[in-house]
Structure formats: C-alpha cells, structure tokens
C-alpha cells in the first residue's frame, strides 16, 4: 500500500483511514482530529495531492459514521437554512467570513497553490454547500472558529456511540 502521508501520521492511522475510506488516503499531512474511540476522523490534507491535483479541502472527514451523520444533516435542508441566515444576519456572515480566512491561513501553512488561492471550501464565505467541510474544520481547530461548523456539529448525534468504525485489530 502506497500512502502519501506526513510525519504526523503513523501506519496504524493510515491503515484505519484506508479501511474507513475504502481506498488509500492521499496527500495526508496529519491527523487533525480523533474520534472519542481514538481513531482518526478528520485528516489535514496537503493543498496539492501527490499527482499534482489542487485540493482545497484541508480538513477531510474520514469516519464513515460521521460522514453518514453529516449527510443526514445535509439532506434535512440545514445548508439552505444556513445560507438564508447568512443573507439576513450580518454578524453571522462576518463570523463565517472569519472562518473562511482562518481556513485559508491554515491551508497556506501547508503551501500555496495558485489554482485555489483565495478559495476555501464548503461554500465559504458566502454560502453553505458542504457541511462535511464545516464540521471537519470545526473538529480540527476547535469550537468558536467556524460558527456554522459549530452548529452542525452540535446537531449531530454522537456518531461514535456504537464504537470504532474500524474494528480493533484491523488497523
């Protein structure tokens, strides 16, 4: 298995993520967050993948239970409601613009990629088009940075309650 990963990612984490995704993870810089079970659930990903592809999603959610729970939120209409609130709530819009700037700053720490310069992810700073990105950002950097990521995370049922998504001994 050829895994492109940074020094902060060990073989057990790479194997767990491989099982979570069903494929070899690419461009991994670090494990950005761990599920309460101890497995990775968010990766910090390089802004350019090993094959040269620009990749704006710095915080990539890997846990299948978490991604499923987030997808359920997306299908509930939460993204549309959040976008409508951005249009009518200047304070929220300002905080969300700050989350966009935080995302760009943290991605640029890994390297600048001209093709995605100034473009964050998830619809930031003016709309919400991917709760996976917002939740990944929130989990990776902590509460209080991305207000809509915080809201989405709060709305999630505890995805970890059933135990690890990758059984012990398989990673």
User: Ramachandran region of residue 52, left (φ > 0), alpha (ψ -120 to 50) or beta?
Assistant: left
The pLDDT value recorded for residue 9 is: 79
Q: Answer yes or no: is 89 within a domain.
A: yes
In terms of Cβ atoms closer than 10 Å to its own Cβ (0-12, 13-18, 19+), residue 15 is: middle
pLDDT at position 171 over 70: no
Q: Within 10 Å of residue 99's Cβ, how many Cβ atoms?
A: 24
Residue predicted with more confidence, 5 or 166: 166
Question: What is the model's pLDDT at position 5?
Answer: 54
Please report whether residue 164 resides in a domain: no
Q: What is the mean pLDDT of the chain?
A: 92
CA distance 86 to 84: 5
Whether 165 contacts 64, CB under 8 Å: yes
Residue 163 has a pLDDT of 85
Is the previous residue joined to 159 through a cis bond, with omega within 30 degrees of 0? no
- Structure tokens that stand for 140 in this block: 């990776």
Residues 29-54 have a mean pLDDT of 95
Report if residue 167 sits inside a domain: no
Q: Is the pLDDT at 162 greater than 90, yes or no? A: no
**Domain boundaries, position 16:** 5-155
Residue 166 falls inside a structural domain: no
Residue 44 covered by a domain? yes
CA distance 73 to 164: 21
Question: Residue 156's pLDDT is what?
Answer: 95
pLDDT in tens, 84-116: 999 999 999 999 999 999 999 999 999 999 999
Mean pLDDT of 139-149: 98
**Assigned domain for 168 exists:** no
Q: Is residue 163 part of a domain?
A: no
> Per the structure, how many domains does the chain have?
1
User: Can you give the pTM of this predicted structure?
Assistant: 0.92
For residue 165, tell me if it sits in a domain: no
């Amino acid at each position: 298995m050829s895994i492109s990963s940074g020094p902060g990612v060990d073989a057990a984490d790479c194997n767990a993520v491989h099982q979570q995704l069903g494929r070899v993870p690419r461009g991994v810089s670090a494990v950005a967050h761990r599920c309460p079970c101890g497995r990775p659930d968010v990766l910090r990903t390089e802004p350019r993948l090993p094959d040269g592809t620009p990749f704006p999603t710095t915080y990539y959610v890997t846990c299948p239970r978490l991604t499923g729970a987030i997808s359920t939120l997306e299908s509930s209409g939460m993204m549309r409601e959040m976008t409508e609130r951005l249009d009518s709530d200047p304070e929220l819009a300002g905080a969300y613009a700050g989350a966009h700037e935080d995302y760009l700053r943290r991605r640029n720490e890994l390297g600048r990629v001209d093709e995605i310069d100034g473009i964050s992810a998830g619809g930031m700073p003016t709309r919400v088009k991917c709760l996976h990105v917002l939740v990944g950002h929130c989990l990776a950097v902590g509460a209080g940075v991305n207000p809509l990521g915080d809201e989405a995370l709060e709305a999630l049922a505890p995805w970890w309650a059933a135990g690890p998504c990758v059984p012990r001994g398989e990673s």
